[in-house]
Structure 1
Amino acid sequence: MMTYSAASTRYDELPIRRVGKTGLQLPVVSLGLWRNFGDEAPFANSRKVVLDAFDHGVFSFDLANNYGPSKGSAERTFGQIMQRDLKPYRDELVITTKAGYPAWSGPYGAFGSRKTLISSLDRSLKQMHLDYVDIFYSHRPDPNIDLYETAAALDQLVRQGKALYVGISNYDRDQTATMIKYFNEMHTPFTVNQYSYNMLNQQAQTAGLIDYLGQHNAGLVAYGPLAEGLLTQRYLQGIPADFPIHRTNKYLFDQGTAAVVNQLNALNRIAEQRGQTLAQMALAWLLRSQVVTSVIIGTTNVDHLHANLEATHNLTFSDDEVKAITAILK
């Protein structure tokens, strides 16, 4: 393989947002390595997508200890790219990982105990050939322990220099409030909650999470912004019965898929009037709020990557568009 040299124009491509008044800044679009970046994917293609993303201004890469498949292999893939190509650019990158979902056998392979989180980050750093990550997340709240233990473990990892900032993921408003209280007491640099958020699933907004984060100097990083591809033109004619809907979006089908298809077509007509694809408008819609610091896209196709990044060319909505879209989403 040829020696990689990053594009000199990489910071001309995407807007960059600051999280509250913290020192953390993110591109409005991040690349997630949830699926199809593991050991079952061709390494050459994974490398191509990651490097092309960086060349176009995506300097934030999101992973977790269980991403693959197989579990952990996405971190190993990224570690190879890091060693081979991105090591000279480490100081420019925001690399994030998480622990909380099953990653190895036994009682410490999941959730949010001190042992689980500390062991997991040690594994992740080794697999990615890193000395530290920029954000380390608790991937989900642990219902079996006091959240203070999770907060204290994250605090310890920052003080050890293994993470620069801490984050939480899949914590609702009340759980977020509890964690922010603990982090404030510990003077821990908490920055973001990574949460499921898309045009069809706006619970992060309606349940008050986004407003709460904004009031407490933190941001929201949205995962699943296209609802597993539902918010693309692919399903305007119908949604198959075996559509792999994410657990956080399953309620969208409570009234049947035909109602969702009607919504998608109505939204697509507005997107066409804006000169955007449905996917581009869906990403732009989330970024209307400055509290939404970044949206995480997942793709293994460079053309799809470029198309998604073009969403940032039009992030403004007229009052009439907001009214029309809001009516469709009710």
Structure 2
Amino acid sequence: MPPKLIFGGVVFDPAGSIKTVEATRATLQVLQEEGINAIDTAQPGLPRSQSTPSTAGGHIPGQSGRETVIARAEESLRRLGVDCYKVNIFYIHSPDRSADLLDTLAGINELHKRGKFHRFGLSNFLADEVEDVIRLATKHSFVLPTVYQGSYSAVTRRPEKELLPVLRSHGMSFYAYSPIAGGFLAKTREDIAAGQGRWDPRTAFGKFNLALFDNEAMLAGLDAWAHISAKWGISRPHLAYRWIVYHSALDGECGDGVVVGASRVDQIRGTVAALRDGPLPSAVVEEIDRVWETVRRVAVIDPVNALLLSSSFS
């Protein structure tokens, strides 16, 4: 069974592409028409919750103690306008390795006892950290995580071996974000070299993305991706979406999902229409597997840990 689709709600943020009430209503209407009924949201600097919304806690080192977690979560839910209701999933957006994990989990458990969320999720945790969370939560009879959200695409496939075995052993679902690798798989080598938008080396975000993807192995993979797209007449983004929905390690029977992004309603409709075309030809899948072999040695597990674990982005 294919994974379900979840809409990435970053476009509704103040700095997002959807600016008006009318545009918001139009987007929500299209999502409903296309059968997408979950929205993933996060408040910058606050703990993350899915309409059914989900929300996540932001990463602020040293701000993950029990009382701080509760206070930040309450503020996040208030901003979402759902402080009197449960969100579907409440995530820890990323591990705070400067904090006492038990104290953090105590705060999460208190929120669950107060009825603030249905399911507890982890995001951007390494496999051994997932095990630590489950061990402590089990020992102290806290709410257990049942879903994990991580970066996963045709050129970022490390979760297949490094995370999924652990998640499956604990019955956790996997929600894949960045299925087009942060927009990389929608671009060409020339687009990256032009240094525009999220690839602008003058911005911190641009520098970070370039550090992840502007290397010869990744660019060679991108060249091959463009060749596959042209050869088979499938747009680069739709190639990525059809691969992750029909040919990745995700499994709808396990409750897995894909977080899809769009800045316009026509993009939402286009993505869903492309997915209705079904699985890719086996020859295309084989070519995509070869792209992974090209980029495997330079691929990161996820952008958050690339940032947290490396000094190269400072």
- If the TM-score is normalised by the length of the shorter chain, which range does it land in? 0.7 to 0.9
Which of these residues, 284, 291, 299, is aligned with residue 242 of structure 2?
A: 284
Maintained 8 Å contact 1:210/1:219 = no
CA distance in 2, matches of 1:270, 1:155: 52
Deviates more, 1:183-192 or 1:173-182: 183-192
Aligned to 1:326: 289
Secondary structure of 2:184's partner?
coil
Structure 1 residue 174: Cα displacement: 1.2
Maintained 8 Å contact 1:49/1:300 = no
Cα 1:51–1:315 change in 2 (3 A) is: same
Structure 1 residue 237: Cα displacement: 4.9
CA distance in 2, matches of 1:153, 1:249: 36
Cα 1:217–1:44 change in 2 (3 A) is: same
Cα 1:123–1:263 change in 2 (3 A) is: same
Aligned to 2:9: 33
Deviations 1:235-263 (A, max 9, x none): 36542234525657843323277424313
Cα 1:143–1:284 change in 2 (3 A) is: same
Aligned to 1:93: 51
Aligned letter for 1:159? K
What residue ranges of structure 2 are gaps of 5+ in the alignment? Answer: 200-204, 294-314
What TM-score results when the alignment is normalised by the length of structure 1? 0.73
2:221 is the counterpart of 1:251: no
CA distance in 2, matches of 1:225, 1:327: 18
Which of these residues, 158, 166, 170, is aligned with residue 216 of structure 1?
A: 170
Aligned letter for 2:51? L
What TM-score results when the alignment is normalised by the length of structure 2? 0.76
CA distance in 1, matches of 2:190, 2:53: 38
Aligned to 2:76: 124
CA distance in 2, matches of 1:323, 1:123: 47
Matches within 5 A, 1:24-63: 28-35=4-11, 37-38=13-14, 41-63=19-41
Secondary structure of 2:154's partner?
coil
Question: Identity percentage over the alignment?
Answer: 21
Aligned to 2:188: 235
Aligned to 1:265: 226
Secondary structure of 2:175's partner?
strand
Aligned letter for 1:286? I
Maintained 8 Å contact 1:61/1:95 = yes
Deviations 1:67-122 (A, max 9, x none): xxxx78x99xxxxxxxxxxxxxxxx93210011235xxxx8xx7432223211221
What residue ranges of structure 1 are gaps of 5+ in the alignment? Answer: 1-14, 18-27, 76-91
Which of these residues, 115, 121, 125, is aligned with residue 67 of structure 2?
A: 115
Q: Which has a greater percent of helix? A: 2
CA distance in 1, matches of 2:123, 2:107: 15
2:256 is the counterpart of 1:293: yes
Provide the aligned length of Structure 1 versus Structure 2: 274
Which structure has more RCO (C-alpha within 8 Å, separation ≥ 6)? 2
